[in-house]
Amino acid sequence: MSEPRRRPLTARGAGALVLGVLFAIAANVVSAPILIYVAVLLFAVTALAVVVVHMPRRSGTVTRQISTDLLTVGEESRITVRFALRSLRIPHGRWRDVLPDAVTGDAAGEYPPDTGVLRYPITGVRRGIWPVGPLILRTVDPFGLAQREQAFGETRTVTVVPEVIPLAPLAAHWGAAGGTAHTASSRLGQGSDNLSPRHYVSGDSMRRIHWRATAHRGELMVRQEEEESNPDAVVVIDRAAGRWARADRGVDAAFEAAVSACASISLHLAGEGYSVDVVDSTGASIGTLRGHEDERDELLVALAMITPRGEGRDLATIVGGTPPGPLVLITGRIPADDRAALHHGGAAVPILLATAPAPDLLAAASAAGWTGAVLTDDISGSWEQALPERMITGGGRVPR
């Protein structure tokens, strides 16, 4: 956010100059030489004030520390600024840090501070990656006639990520074939001691021989590794430009709700034990969640930067040849004749959330196998309304 440059004179200083000019004119009109002396005194004092404020050379370094790596929309964080000023004398004035419109905070105060460091809170307002800074120091001469503003330090970025909303839990895991979580068997002949036996094949370690099964069957048997495999889920956020308001019309509240819903649903499904792939409407990957700690932050940062663009692809093509369990499509405007958006590719549990579906679109989606709801600012309520009854725990919703 650009900051207007302040004039070298304060309102009082400008008034002193104007008054000096008036005294000079009046001295000629009324032939009063004393007024000339007063005018010269005003000019001299104002000029001296400008010299006192602007002549000393100042330089300094600024370092900023943000208490949270990622700032969530609506979340408060704190910035600590260490300002090392080099000057002949320590000036007294006011400091302020330049903040973008995407965050709010009281980033100003008296200088020098009592504690030696500058601290202020900020609150995330709009997702994105935004610059904070530079630090502005404003000083005024003792008479209050002249002022000086000087910028110090470089900017630092703050990442504001979408808000993550708690959502209703699911009753069961729906795997790729529409069932519950399944197991996948490895053929390496290595595993834990309590696993099911299989026939010995060349290359298996003799340490993996299952002696009890060997004695029972009369032939060599080895323990077979079985690994729990999380069911797959796919979350698609429709970024096609035609689904959303034009970018030149400002922030699209519907798209912001969609991004927040995408983050909330993706992390919720991962927390429920799903392996989650998050893609856009072209099939490009936005993030994956496989249980690693850094994947959550990577997804949120990616979602902090996305905008509507381009055109979408057929959803069945995006899903590919292996339909997932839950498939969540988050979109905006869907006209009644856009049946391509309703081809879910055989997903076990297709869920549709649209901010502005055409009349009867949700009914047509239901006939195609979807369950859906209108996505509003109440993301949690929209999610619960869109869930199939068989996936709701505790009877949280009256069946439609």
Rounded mean pLDDT, 276-303: 92
Q: Determine contact, residues 172/233, Cβ cutoff 8 Å.
A: no
Q: Which of 152, 145, 151, 150 is nearest to 52 (CA)?
A: 145
Rounded mean pLDDT, 176-192: 37
The packing angle between helices 253-271 and 293-305, to 10°, is 170
Rounded mean pLDDT, 212-224: 73
Answer whether 0.95 is exceeded by the pTM.
no
CATH number, domain 232-391: 3.40.50.410
Neighbours of 364 (CB within 10 A): 17
pLDDT of residue 347: 80
What is the spatial distance between Cα 61 and Cα 387, in angstroms, rounded to a whole number?
Answer: 54
Per-residue pLDDT tens for 66-125?
A: 998 899 999 999 999 999 999 888 888 999 999 999 999 999 999 988 877 899 999 999
Backbone angle region of 196, left / alpha / beta, with phi > 0 → left and psi within -120 to 50 → alpha: beta
Instruction: State both tokens at 310.
Output: 């381009």
Instruction: State both tokens at 391.
Output: 């996936």
In which band, very low, low, confident or very high, does the pLDDT at 398 lie, cut at 50, 70 and 90? very low
What is the spatial distance between Cα 80 and Cα 190, in angstroms, rounded to a whole number?
Answer: 53
Instruction: State both tokens at 201.
Output: 């094949």
Q: Is the peptide bond before 166 cis (omega within 30 degrees of 0)?
A: no
Sign of the four-CA dihedral 175, 177, 180, 186: negative
Look at the block and give the residue holding tokens 């000079």: 24
Q: Which fold has domain 59-161?
A: Immunoglobulin-like (2.60.40)
Query: Strand runs (DSSP E) across 244-391, as ranges?
Result: 275-280, 285-289, 326-334, 349-357, 371-374
What is the spatial distance between Cα 138 and Cα 157, in angstroms, rounded to a whole number?
Answer: 23
pLDDT of residue 334: 86
Q: Determine contact, residues 389/397, Cβ cutoff 8 Å.
A: yes
Per-residue pLDDT tens for 341-381?
A: 677 777 888 999 999 998 888 888 888 889 999 999 999 99
The terminus-to-terminus CA distance of the chain in angstroms comes to: 49
